[in-house]
A and B are shown apart, each in its own frame.
Chain A
Amino acid sequence: MIARKHRLRLLPERWLRPWREAGRFARTVVWVGAGITAIFVFIAIFAPFIWHYSGTAYQGIPKLAPPSGKHPFGTTSINFDVLARVLYGARLALEVVGLSVTFSVAIGLPLGLYAGYRGGWQDRTLVMVMDSLYAFPGLLLAIVVAAFLGRGVVNASVAIAVVYIPQYFRVIRNHVISVREEVFVDAARALGAKRRTIVWRYIFFNVVQSIPVIFSLNAADAIITLAALGFLGYGVNPPTPEWGQDLSRAIHDLASGVWWTALFPGLAIVILTTGMTLLGEGLNDIVNPLLRRVGIGTQTPAIGTVAQGGAAAGETQVLEQ
């Protein structure tokens, strides 16, 4: 098959070209984002080697001690070391992010592929259901699901995953539809490729490149959603270190002027989320040449609708080959 050989040779080149053509700014953004994310992954894995207190240790630790050499981030009202809570919190956050994004991709991607390729009433029904789901406030959805499932790592992950399924569905479906119309799929069909071969070899590879962008933006979102669940008491079971839960406890310390229990877990969330957002936005700028080549479409690459931005990016990629 000529087409296939052609493609295998072109694939890496096509993926690298946008990166090489991207401006220095976009690349710096990606590196900073990737760096921050990498630091948190490192912390999550090596937390026990970084700090000698564990997240749940309380013996010999004073109550509400301000930051000092012994406890650089201070201690909490129930004798936890804040630095240890923050470090171990990264572990849980990344665990839940990984799980929830896996869940939503695992459901959204096949559904999107199916609806996009199948078309017809199956497509219309799925689109309508997903759009309605998408219109509903995501955080409320996660809160309700989490409250009913009860606390726990897997439950929280499921609750968060539900929010993102429509997003993956939409991106994938729109992408499939645009790719399906492309000439090269017709060409492959004319060459006698089987239907399934077409889906997997062509559509899948074209679709998959918009995933990293949504992935990192959703991961950032998931961190905040997890913290929100924890803050409202629907996250994981105490005393598992989790930033949102720690913040809900810290709110009672504020009145007496205790700032360290609130500041540090929040900063951890802000920094990690910023890192992941930078990574996602940077990748989006690179994959999606909207700002370099003007007038591609009127779709809005913003949060939530990054989806279409990604899809538009894919379209131009396809056209380029």
Chain B
Amino acid sequence: MPDLLIELFSEEIPARMQARAASDLKALVTNGLVEAGLTYASAGAFATPRRLTLSVEGLSAESPTTREERKGPRTDAPDQALQGFLRSTGLTRDQLETRDDKKGQFWFARITRPGRPADDIVAELLDHTIRNFPWPKSMRWGAGSLRWVRPLHSILCILSAEDGAQIVPLTVEGITAGDTTRGHRFLSKGAIKVSGFNDYAAKLKKAHVILSPEDRASQIWHDATTMAFAQGLEVVEDKALLAEVAGLVEWPVVLLGEIDAEFLDLPPEVLQTSMREHQKFFSVRNPKTGRIEKFVTVANTETADHGATILAGNQKVLAARLSDAKFFWENDLRTVKEIGLEGMAKPLAEVTFHNKLGSQAERIARIEALAREIAPLVGAKPDLAAEAARIAKADLASEMVYEFPELQGIMGKYYAEAAGHDDGVPQACAEHYSPLGPSDEVPTAPVSVAVALADKIDMLTGFWAIDEKPTGSKDPFALRRAALGVIRLVLSNRLKLNLLSLTEEAMRWAMAAASPARGADPSLRELDDRVAIVHLIDFFHDRLKVYLRDLGIRHDVIDACLYDASADDKAAHAVNLVQVVKRAEALSETLKTDDGENLLQGFKRANNILTQAEEKDGVEYSYGADVKFAETDEERALFAALDAAEAKIAPAMKAEDFAAAMSAMADLRAPLDAFFEAVQINTDNSIIRRNRLNLLSRIRTLCLSVADLTRIEG
């Protein structure tokens, strides 16, 4: 059982692409090996800035010989049929045999495919893999036509067994595979010959290359935290940065550096962002004060002066960067103190939000109006919500946010504080973009909630008004995220908001904002408020289903609670999300019980019988069933059970005590089962039949008032 080692050695691979490329290499090669009939025991893939490596252990030495028998045409069939069969099997006539069966005499072919040695298969497969590698972006170089992420320099491809290693013969666009690699760009010289994976990894380590990205990352983190700890400090955790930095070095050397005192008063987010984005530094914090006081940089080399020159250079670059940041910070503070955030926001009148929806300033005015409407519903003072909405986006016109867009909101908070706003207004500036995803924290402060909702609802109604909805994988304005944001804000804060009334007003404003664009576009003109709102509510429901499905609630259960069977207008369906979710949770629990599951079956049976009868008779059985026509005890018991359930369900639904309503509904299971057991619905006596159908109708109506059980699958 030989082992296979592949290394594709190139110029520096972008850090963000390395992990994916390693796993693609592994998948493409191992799948290809298996498809070709080989088996293997295990496989592992690795990436450094200059190499992708795959190690496959316990590979079969050759693929098995396969035999297949195929039946051809009858021996008396026209010659054409025989010729076709010969072509498809690749055999000649004298290699065929004839056999008789019930339908006559037929030609038979025995096809033998001899096994192939592993190196043959690997050579072909690796050539194909290199030429068709799924890089997110690839390039040509020199005069060749091969594409790779950056110029590919060498291919190492060996099969090794106890008796030694053998190069897999393979040449891709002039690059011939061999058994050598290279070490660190600066700390190692010359080619390194390897005989197998363990030898390879060990020799690379000697040549100052740590092959495994996880090993590099954990070494960086260990060294960084140890160094910081020795000075009573802690490294600010940043997993994405750690992974990126591990992809920029083959031989990580961690250095702890100083930040000039004049910059230590900048907001920590500014220091952190500037250091991370521009320099890929980790921030080092004083746990006692929460201030960022130092940084960690990771070099890719060891030097005679133990990194002193490198660190000095990095500190110098950082100082230049931070003096820019400080300059922006001081300018912004001066602006805010002189003309306030409203003044700072002035230029937003000239900034286009979307060419069909007007300027940022116009959008802010809509958000302000909307926040004022929403405020009382979420327990915020309307004036405060309006004030927060008016200034929440002012920082988009600040110098700091121009330089660091990811600081939007956060800078708004600092500038709002500096301008003397309080009562939750600065906090709302920071939080009004939240939540940004399914796991991002949801604001709870009333002013923040009001502005956050207004921001997202304006966004959604705006793009719905100009018919720019997300399609498939395209969602350039992150509207799915905005809708999920609304859903999470409403659910986490248990807000009794009516989505419909909330969006109606916003949609009118959005339509007005879009009116020039709508005037110019006939297809947009046809889209009226009502239709747009129906589509938007549907979109909310879709997002809700996705969200709840992730929380473990089945989509059919959600459907049963979303669509009120009695409502005709789609937009009037379930617009109170908190209620929908409570109902879905209760139904989900009920269906997990034995009674619930059986009641569902009973309901479906009742509904089927009733629907068939109604179709056949052309009438609707909805007149009150009368207990006086009941013939059996089981029938009378069901009447009594329905009386009892109705008495409980109606008030429970009204009180939104869905668990109680569902449990009362589930109590019908025993009498309903007994009823079906004992009673035949379609009897000859038409009065009794009608009465029983009306009784089923009563069951249906009652169950549907709890949830639309017809939508439940199974």
A complexed with B? no
Which A residues contact B (CB, under 8 angstroms)? none
Q: Which residues of B contact A (CB under 8 A)?
A: none
